[in-house]
Amino acid sequence: MLKGVVVILKELKIPEATVSRLSVYSRYLTEVAKQEIVSISSGEIAEGVGGTPAQVRKDLAYFGEFGTRGVGYNVKQLNQEIMSILGLTKCWNVILIGAGNLGSALSQYRGFRERGFQIIGVFDNDLNKVGLKLNGLPIYAVTQMADFVEKNDVSIGIIAVPAEYAQDIADILVETNIRGILNFAPVVLTIPEEVEVRNVDLTVNLEVLTYNIERR
Amino acid sequence: MLKGVVVILKELKIPEATVSRLSVYSRYLTEVAKQEIVSISSGEIAEGVGGTPAQVRKDLAYFGEFGTRGVGYNVKQLNQEIMSILGLTKCWNVILIGAGNLGSALSQYRGFRERGFQIIGVFDNDLNKVGLKLNGLPIYAVTQMADFVEKNDVSIGIIAVPAEYAQDIADILVETNIRGILNFAPVVLTIPEEVEVRNVDLTVNLEVLTYNIERR
């Protein structure tokens, strides 16, 4: 069945907002499964994540028929399908670049490990930090980064350095086999098409908030 | 003219992705204006932010006709219109709750101040931190928070505490005149409708990234 699903996905353009919500649904379903609840309705999912039942049904409909009318969704099965869609049936090796405050916060962000993202190394260009640990993770020099990525099958690099260094770090990363970059630096990176990049822009979030406040 | 725009907005449902991109365009236009460039095309904006000209034109079309065909947009005027739409023609008083690593990173995030968001106080429930400063900002006890919000005309609270404390903090905030909450804790908050809430979910970003990687 999964193969069929993947074929459909390649033809459909799924809105990014839907993908984001699938991630949220999946984490909620993981919590629900821990309580040994077997089935769940779209209404219950919506209530759990702060959405609407119609939105939940619409989001899940992109991936075919998971639920049974009147019965709801099997919690574990639905969660497994979503995790498979999101690429989370395996672990991802991740490195973090930047051992400052943001890097420190990210290195201990519990949510990452719970979802299969393993930060296995931290890199910084401050040689005073190299050799120390950041929340238990070894800090290496940026000059060691390319070698580390190749040897440890690293797929994702999280950039948490000041804006002025972010492009240099990205340039090193894209020369390796890295597949994706999550960028926290407030700068638009120039990245070749082979590497997927996603910018986390903290200011955007505040501005969407003020937009919504002002529209009330 | 602005009044007319606002009336239109209330009737249109503008996608959140468009609002997010407006924020990005605006910061790019601010940079461009510093270089004393007077006019700009949708193609140049798209190149600057890593989008497509068609997307830029579509986003700006929600707000009426800003540009002139063949001439492009007046940089300063367009930026001013977008900032007005986003509610950024005034300063917003902001408090930060949580003086840990994430709070520390946020307190020195330059992008906030540049856009008119002023963090004027930090709150923490660790009494050992109270009275100290976080990157120059005074740290207060959470018990002082409600009083501080009222006295200092605070509109936005940024929650950067561990998940288990986030709802308690939100409960205190919604009892004040606060208008919006930006929540970094990985938990769904129960917030009354009068208060706008926006969740920054760091895991979602990683999962949209892996989704995109796997779909390649």
Q: Is B24 helix (H, G, I), strand (E, B) or coil?
A: helix
For A197, the enclosing helix (H) or strand (E) is strand A196-199
A99-150 tens-digit pLDDT: 999 999 999 887 898 899 999 999 999 999 999 999 999 999 999 999 999 9
The secondary structure of residue B201, as a DSSP letter, is -
Provide the token pair at B1.
Answer: 């003219």
Whether residue A23 and residue B208 make contact (CB cut-off 8 A), yes or no, is yes
The average pLDDT across B122-146 equals 97
- How far away is chain B from the Cα of A157, in angstroms, using its nearest Cα? 10
Whether residue B207 and residue A111 make contact (CB cut-off 8 A), yes or no, is no
pLDDT of residue A149: 98
Longest Cα–Cα distance of chain B, Å, equals 61
Closest residue of chain B to A193, computed from CA coordinates:
B216
Q: Taking 70 as the threshold, does the pLDDT of residue B28 lie above it?
A: yes
Whether residue A115 and residue B203 make contact (CB cut-off 8 A), yes or no, is yes
Whether residue B203 and residue A156 make contact (CB cut-off 8 A), yes or no, is no
Q: Residue A86 is nearest to which of B49, B110, B210, comparing CB atoms?
A: B210
Whether residue B182 and residue A206 make contact (CB cut-off 8 A), yes or no, is yes
The average pLDDT across B29-38 equals 94
- How far away is chain A from the Cα of B72, in angstroms, using its nearest Cα? 22
Whether residue A19 and residue B87 make contact (CB cut-off 8 A), yes or no, is no
Q: How far is CA B186 from the centre of its chain?
A: 18
Q: Is B182 helix (H, G, I), strand (E, B) or coil?
A: strand
Whether residue B105 and residue A100 make contact (CB cut-off 8 A), yes or no, is yes
Provide the token pair at A25.
Answer: 């649904």
Cα–Cα distance measured from residue B82 to residue B4, given in angstroms and rounded to the nearest whole number: 14
pLDDT of residue B186: 79
Helix axes B16-34, B42-49, angle to 10 degrees: 100
pLDDT-derived band at B93 (thresholds 50, 70, 90) equals very high
Cα–Cα distance measured from residue A124 to residue A138, given in angstroms and rounded to the nearest whole number: 11
Q: How far is CA A197 from CA A11, A29, A113, B126, in A?
A: 21, 27, 20, 37
Pairing of strands B133-134, B137-141: antiparallel
CB atoms within 10 A of CB A164: 9
What residues in A contact B155, CB-CB < 8 Å? 213
pLDDT of residue B80: 94
Whether residue B19 and residue A206 make contact (CB cut-off 8 A), yes or no, is no
Q: How far is CA B143 from CA A166, B126, B128, B131, in A?
A: 39, 11, 14, 13
Pairing of strands A180-183, A196-199: parallel
pLDDT of residue B65: 67
- How far away is chain B from the Cα of A70, in angstroms, using its nearest Cα? 26
The average pLDDT across B83-109 equals 94
What residues in B contact A117, CB-CB < 8 Å? 203, 206
Q: Is A44 helix (H, G, I), strand (E, B) or coil?
A: helix
- How far away is chain B from the Cα of A2, in angstroms, using its nearest Cα? 14
Residues 68-107 of B with CB under 8 A from A: 85-88, 92, 94, 100-102, 104-106
Provide the token pair at A113.
Answer: 């490990």
Helix/strand number for chain A, H first, E second: 10, 9
Helix residue spans in A41-74 (DSSP H): 42-49, 53-61
What residues in B contact A92, CB-CB < 8 Å? 210
User: Which parts of chain A register pLDDT below 70?
Assistant: 1-13, 63-67
Angle at Cα B98 formed by Cα B97 and Cα B101, nearest 5°?
140
Angle at Cα B98 formed by Cα B94 and Cα B99, nearest 5°?
100
CB atoms within 10 A of CB B2: 11
Whether residue A86 and residue B19 make contact (CB cut-off 8 A), yes or no, is no
- C-alpha dihedral sign at A110, B214, A79, A154: negative
Nearest alpha carbon to residue A142 among A96, A192, A203: A96
B50 touching A (Cβ < 8 Å) = yes
- How far away is chain A from the Cα of B189, in angstroms, using its nearest Cα? 8
What residues in A contact B92, CB-CB < 8 Å? 210
In one-letter notation, the amino acid at residue A145 is: M
pLDDT of residue A4: 47
B205-216 tens-digit pLDDT: 999 999 999 988
**Mutation site, B154, B189, B206, B212, interface A, largest A CB count within 10 A:** B206
DSSP secondary structure string, A134-155?
ETTEEEEEGGGHHHHHHHTT--
pLDDT of residue A66: 62
Cβ(A48)–Cβ(A56) under 8 Å? no
Looking at the DSSP bridge assignments, the partners of residue A1 are none
pLDDT of residue B4: 47
Q: Is B86 helix (H, G, I), strand (E, B) or coil?
A: coil
The average pLDDT across B133-157 equals 97
Cα–Cα distance measured from residue A103 to residue A158, given in angstroms and rounded to the nearest whole number: 9
What residues in B contact A62, CB-CB < 8 Å? none
Nearest alpha carbon to residue B64 among B117, B5, B3: B5
